[in-house]
Every structure is written in C-alpha cells, then in structure tokens.
Structure 1
Amino acid sequence: MKNILTALLLLIVAVPKTAAQELFKNGELTISKLEERTWVVETADMTTMYILEGDDRAMLIDTGTQCEDLDEIVRKITQKPLIVVLTHNHRDHAGNIRFFDKVYMHPADTIIPIDIIFEGEYKWLQEGDSFDLGGRHIEVYLMPGHTPGSIILMDHSINASFTGDAFGSGQVWLQLKPHVPMNDYYASCARMEQLMNGHNITKLYVGHYPYVKRPLDINYILDMKVLAKRLSEGDTTGAKDYPNMGIDIACKNPMIVANGQAMIVFDPENIN
C-alpha cells in the first residue's frame, strides 16, 4: 500500500500544473475557466464536471457525487439552454442527475447498479452522435473499459476530448464490475490514439481533473495502450496488490501495474 501511495504522489507531483481562473467557489465545489467558453467544476471529494458553451446552447459533462442545487450553480456560468451528458453511470459522475429533467447516457451502462433516484428522462447516446451547441460541435465516441458504456466527447473547437474515466486520471480502474475484457480496453486505447492523430486532438480533459490539474496528452494514451496490450497478453510483470477500498462493484483482490505515466488497476482472475 505504501509503495502504491508513493507512486501516486510522485505522479501527481511530477505533473506540471496549469493555472485556471477561479470564478465561483462554495463549500462543495470550485468553478474555474480553462479556456474560451470552457469551465471545470472541481468538487471537494475530487470529482469533476465540465461546462461548455456554444453560441446557442451549453453542455454540462457529468454531475458529480453530491452538490446541492447544481442546476442553479451552473446558471452562474451560463444562462443558455443546457444539455446534460454523463460519460458513464457511476455515482461520482451521475450523483446529481436529480437536478435535471433530461440526461444523456450510453445504454450499455444501464446494467451498472446505482442507487440514484431520478424522475427525469434518460436519452440514449450512440456512437457517432453529435451535439450542436452553435458554432461548437461535440462528437460522441464509445470507449469501453472502465465501464461497458464509457464515452468520450470530442470538441474540435479547442482540439480537446473530455474523457470521463475512460482512460483514467493517471490510473484507470478496470477492476470494477461489470467486467470489460482487457482486449476491449486495449482496442479503446488504440482507437483513441488514432482519433487524436487523425483529428488533431492534443488535450484530454479527464474525469478527475483535481488529481492532475492539466489536460493529458497523447503520450499518456501511448503509455496506457502499451500497458493494456501487455495485460491482455497475460503479462502482469511488476503488478502489486491494490486495496479494494470497500467498493461493492470491485473485485476482491485487485492489483495495480504501471508503465510510464499510466497505471491500470485490474482483476488478476478476470483479465479477458
């Protein structure tokens, strides 16, 4: 455990930080401007949301774990009609959907058990869907691994993708149930590399931004791809025990392994 925490600390310390312009703060969250018409919401429990604004509409990416009156807080940033999109269906990304009438999510994540009361409407996303915010188009790509229905949202206007937990925030959790084969996760990493190269995507805004305080880049994806490939072939060299942290949907005896900037937490008994 000590070695794992030391590795995480070294990773976080080694990452250059990017100053963001703080615009709003209360006891639960801080909102800062990242770049033009793009804001990050960092919560006290280290979860992350993003607010994007176009000429006609705005988008909230993820809803955090527990933030009171999130709908009203978003209105401190934008008054434009709001589209709410979940990158995946875990509580730390979907916890506040009750404040909204409609949320978008990939249907593959409906099999994830989540104890959240939501009286609104789910709108199902598919690969290739896009949102027109007005002068700003956001494209949806399915990237299974962390969950079966994990998506990333590509934004050509700022050469960035908002990745949720699809590729982690330094480390990606693949020890969770329902299990996605490591071969499938490797395919997601390889595809993300191709998309970044083919669409000039230079920045990855991840699902737990407070841990890194900057966008990650293609070198991170390359490190993650190599690591996923190794694991998919059964090579667990250097893997160490990782605490299951009392999470109901985690395997009993997870392990963690690193390659460069990337770390993967996995179930050694259920890799593929």
Structure 2
Amino acid sequence: MKNLYTLTQVDPGVYNISENITDRPIKFSQQLVVGTQRAAMIDAGFGIDRDLLKEIRKITQLPVICLLTHGDPDHTGGAELFDQVYMNPADDAVMKAAFDPRFRLHAIDVASGHNAELVAHMQAEEPQDASFSYQPLHDGDRFDLGGTTLTALALPGHSAGSMVFVDVDRHLGFTGDSLATLTMSELYDARCASLTVWANGLAKLQHLVGDDAQLYSGHRVDAFPPHVLSTLIQGVADIKAGGGQTDTPITQMPTGPVTDSDTMHPRTHKIAGTTFVIMYNALNI
C-alpha cells in the first residue's frame, strides 16, 4: 500500500515513523533511535504489514531491538517482526487480549474511521501470530546503542506496565501513551493506575530529563511543548484539591460509548490556560 509510512528525522539519530491511517490530527507514531552499534525501535505500530522493516532499513542497517512502552495493539502490533523485544510483564494480559490479528484488524478499522482500502490491505498482509515472545523490562534497565544510552523508566498510569525510555544526557524522552495522546492523557479506564501514582512517575521523569526535555509520544510527530510535565503534574494537583468536582463525564470515545460503573467514573479535566486535558477515573485518584 502506497504512502502508508512517513519518516521524519526529529533529532540527530532520532526518527519518527508514522502509520498514515487517519486524517485526524492524532498520529500513530513510533520512534527509531540509532546509535553507532545498534538501533532501538520504540513501539512497533499496529503491525499492518511487514514493510515497517523496509522503512527502518531506509535509515539504518544496524541490528535493531524493539522496546515497547505498553501492551496496546497500536504499539505492539509489529513486535513479532523483531528478534529482540522488551516489554514490562505487568502489561502481559493487556497485550495478549489485544494482539490477536482479528482484534488488531478491528482496531485499525476503528482508528482509521473505517478505511476500507486500509482494512483490506491489513487483512491480506498483517503478520498472523497471535502473540510474541519478549524479554522482561524493568525500571532502570539500560540499553547501550553505541554513543547513546536509553534508560527505561516505569510510569504506570495509562496501563500498569507503561514504560518511558529516556536519553538522560540529551534530555530526550519517548513516552508512548504515558503522556498525552496529542493533548489528552487517557487514564480513565479501570485498568489504569491512580492519578497519584501517575503524577509521581511524571515527577520522576521530570527529575531525570528536566522540564524542558524533548518528549515524543506515540500519537504525535513533534515533541510536546516545554513544561508539559509540570503542566500535567499541576493538573493532577488541581483535581486532588477539588478542582475536578465539575469535570465533564466521558460518555463517548472512538472505540464506543463510555459509562459510569462500580469501578470507573470517567471524567475529563481541562487544565486551565492550556490545551491539555486529563481523562481520569474519579474513583481512582
């Protein structure tokens, strides 16, 4: 399928690879970090086809490891294309529930706004394994790529096993969905960690790379604006101080309707003076 991937160099040795599946502002992106000895692919997209490897080879011929930020299908779908894959085992159940090729096909249908050509292409070309092998990923693990070292940081929030990868020396970070997906941080589901746990992780990330770090997510090509970490930390503080009492209930997401339950009261908190919102579970502060 033509024009499925877009490559963008965003920093020396750092490339964004986006899957062009929707015209909406939100992107479906992963980052390739290239050292002198090997490269690291951070997340693996939906696994639409095997051409992701061809895109990587346009950039480097070095060995490539795959570091997964969490277990959702738009981040793990192409993981079976790589010989060495690392993931936090806390997201094992999330991954196994969503990795089946039929589920990933359904996910791409929803994410693309029912793009029939794309769905047909994926149905014919997607890797068919229902799971993949991975090595366990832990907080503090370091990956020497040659001249560049990535450190894994546990940041539970969007999922229990969410991880961020940072280049401390260059003040770079790769966050998957641990930060906002474009401008929305999604922590409303019953599987998500509490706002307090998430904010503690944001503070740890801020301490490692600084508040002016370049942070790249799984759903935008450009880096977040400066001070996004302090903005989100302040948003959590506002909610905990009672500022969330009038927050809007979440009733509809692209994947379907959302309702209150015994374990989940989904709410949206707009952070004053910013474009950012925190989608959270009012029962899990």
Out of 40, 45, 53, the residue aligned to residue 71 of structure 1 is: 53
Q: In the TM superposition, what is the alpha-carbon distance from 1:82 to its structure 2 partner?
A: 0.5
CA distance in 1, matches of 2:81, 2:3: 18
Output the amino acid matched with 2:160: P
Is the contact between residue 193 and residue 218 of structure 1 (CA under 8 Å) also seen in structure 2? no
CA distance in 1, matches of 2:242, 2:73: 31
Q: In the TM superposition, what is the alpha-carbon distance from 1:250 to its structure 2 partner?
A: 6.6
- 1:32 aligns to what? 8
* TM-score after normalising by structure 1: 0.80
Q: Say whether residues 1:241 and 2:249 are aligned partners.
A: yes
The percent of aligned pairs where both chains have the same amino acid is: 24
- 1:49 aligns to what? 30
What is the RMSD computed on CA atoms of the aligned residues? 2.4
Tell me the secondary structure at the aligned position of residue 256 of structure 1: strand
Give 1:1-272 correspondences, 5 Å limit.
26-45=2-21, 46-69=27-50, 70-112=52-94, 113-116=97-100, 117-118=129-130, 120-168=132-180, 169-197=182-210, 202-210=213-221, 214-245=222-253, 247=255, 252=260, 254-259=266-271, 260-268=274-282, 270-272=283-285
* TM-score after normalising by structure 2: 0.77
Output the amino acid matched with 2:72: H
Tell me the secondary structure at the aligned position of residue 175 of structure 2: strand
CA distance in 1, matches of 2:171, 2:2: 30
* Aligned CA distance change for structure 1 residues 62 and 127 (closer, same or farther; 3 Å): same
Output the amino acid matched with 2:38: R
* Aligned CA distance change for structure 1 residues 247 and 223 (closer, same or farther; 3 Å): same
Is the contact between residue 214 and residue 223 of structure 2 (CA under 8 Å) also seen in structure 1? yes
Residue correspondences, number: 242
Q: In the TM superposition, what is the alpha-carbon distance from 1:241 to its structure 2 partner?
A: 3.0
Pick which of 238-247 and 164-173 moved more. 238-247
**CA-to-partner distance for each residue in 1:56-94, whole Å, 9 max, x for gaps?**
101111011143112232112111011101111111111
Tell me the secondary structure at the aligned position of residue 184 of structure 1: helix
Tell me the secondary structure at the aligned position of residue 209 of structure 1: coil
Where has structure 1 moved over 4 Å in runs of 4 or more?
Answer: 248-253
Q: In the TM superposition, what is the alpha-carbon distance from 1:193 to its structure 2 partner?
A: 2.3
Q: In the TM superposition, what is the alpha-carbon distance from 1:29 to its structure 2 partner?
A: 1.5
Is the contact between residue 161 and residue 201 of structure 1 (CA under 8 Å) also seen in structure 2? no
| Structure 1, unpaired ranges of 5+ | 1-24
**CA-to-partner distance for each residue in 1:189-215, whole Å, 9 max, x for gaps?**
222222233xx86211122114xxx21
